[in-house]
Amino acid sequence: MAGAIGGIVSPVPPAPRIWLAAVTLAVMLGFELAGRPLNLPQNRRLVPQDVIRRSDVEGPLQFGFEMGTGVRTFMPTALPHALVVIVVLLGGLGPGILAGLGFGFGRALMPLARARHGDPAGWDRLLARQLRLVGRLCAAAFALTAITVVARQSGLM
Amino acid sequence: MIGTHPLTPAAATLVACAAVALTVFTVPALPLPVAAVAWVMLGVAAGYSISGSP
């Protein structure tokens, strides 16, 4: 969806879009790396478990869609917002689809790592304590990758 | 059968992030479009970062 919205800003010349993206991302990621994520709008609700039982196919699909896409969940970081910013300003439909696939894979990676941990309950306790560090590490990876994208778009790479 | 791992959430994240960084910075040497990989990796970092939410 962000990729499709990116088409609206495509008439804007690349230079202003690159600068706007660079400044916006620098502010957002600066707060993330400092361990104080910006308090941006989000749907702070959980998908109710009874959604799954509503039907054999549609219920689990709705649960997976809402949870997987982050439509209805709690977001401890603002990195999904940063992802929308960079896709809208510098991406487009193709990059938006690729970023969406990566987002889904990233969403699945954490529960998979938890499931393969020797003590999943212990994992939950540790995660509650390390959530801020996890967010900072993800912000660092996001920043490195975003720098690559911005540098490439501006012809530096 | 796949065994279990002893990594803490932070350590597992570090491994995942190192993989992201390694992929992004080594990919110019590979026959893959760097931009495509970078877009996927941006999504992975964003998706993973909110997956610890309750």
Q: Closest-CA residue in chain B for A47?
A: B54
Using the Cβ of B50 and the Cβ atoms of chain A, whether some distance falls under 8 Å is answered with yes
3-state secondary structure of B7: coil
ipTM surpassing 0.90, yes or no? Answer: no
Residue A82 has pLDDT above 90, yes or no: yes
Domain containing residue A132: 2-37+78-153
3-state secondary structure of B5: strand
Kindly give the residue spans of alpha helices, DSSP state H, lying in chain B: 9-26, 34-49
CB A77 within 8 A of CB A37: yes
Q: What is the pTM for the complete model shown?
A: 0.83
State the smallest CA–CA distance between residue B50 and chain A in angstroms. 5
Verify that A61 and A29 share a domain, yes or no.
Answer: no
What are the tens digits of pLDDT across the range A26-42?
999 999 999 888 887 77
Verify that A87 and A64 share a domain, yes or no.
Answer: no
Residue A25 has pLDDT above 90, yes or no: yes
Verify that A12 and A48 share a domain, yes or no.
Answer: no
State the smallest CA–CA distance between residue A15 and chain B in angstroms. 18
Q: What is the DSSP string of chain A?
A: -HHHHHHHHTTS-HHHHHHHHHHHHHHHHHHHHTT----------PPPTHHHHT-SSHHHHHHHHHHHHTSSS--SSSHHHHHHHHHHHH--HHHHHHHHHHHHHHHHHHHHHHHTBS-HHHHHHHHHHHHHHHHHHHHHHHHHHHHHHHHHHTT--
A155: alpha, beta or left, given left = phi > 0 and alpha = psi -120 to 50? left
Using the Cβ of A75 and the Cβ atoms of chain B, whether some distance falls under 8 Å is answered with yes
State the smallest CA–CA distance between residue B22 and chain A in angstroms. 10
Domain endpoint, select from A55, A75, A95: A75
Verify that A59 and A83 share a domain, yes or no.
Answer: no
Interface probe, candidates A25, A124, A132, A148, chain B, greatest B C-beta count within 10 A = A148
Verify that A87 and A122 share a domain, yes or no.
Answer: yes
For chain B, how big is the Rg over CA atoms in Å? Answer: 13
3-state secondary structure of A144: helix
| pLDDT score at A47 | 67
The CA distance from A32 to A137, in Å, is 9
Verify that A15 and A68 share a domain, yes or no.
Answer: no
Verify that A103 and A139 share a domain, yes or no.
Answer: yes
Verify that A84 and A11 share a domain, yes or no.
Answer: yes
Verify that A106 and A147 share a domain, yes or no.
Answer: yes
| pLDDT score at A12 | 82
Using the Cβ of A43 and the Cβ atoms of chain B, whether some distance falls under 8 Å is answered with no
Verify that A101 and A137 share a domain, yes or no.
Answer: yes
| pLDDT score at A128 | 87
State the smallest CA–CA distance between residue B19 and chain A in angstroms. 9
Verify that A86 and A138 share a domain, yes or no.
Answer: yes
Residue of A78, A92, A72, A69 whose CA lies nearest to A9: A92
Tokens of A63: 């649960």
Verify that A140 and A86 share a domain, yes or no.
Answer: yes
Predicted confidence band at A72 (pLDDT cuts at 50, 70, 90)?
A: confident
| pLDDT score at A7 | 66
| pLDDT score at A142 | 93
pLDDT over 70, % of chain A: 89
Q: Do A95 and B41 touch (CB under 8 A)?
A: no
Indicate the number of domains in chain A.
Answer: 2
Q: Which residues of B touch A140 (CB under 8 A)?
A: 17
Span A79-84, average pLDDT: 93
Which residue positions in chain B have pLDDT lower than 50? none
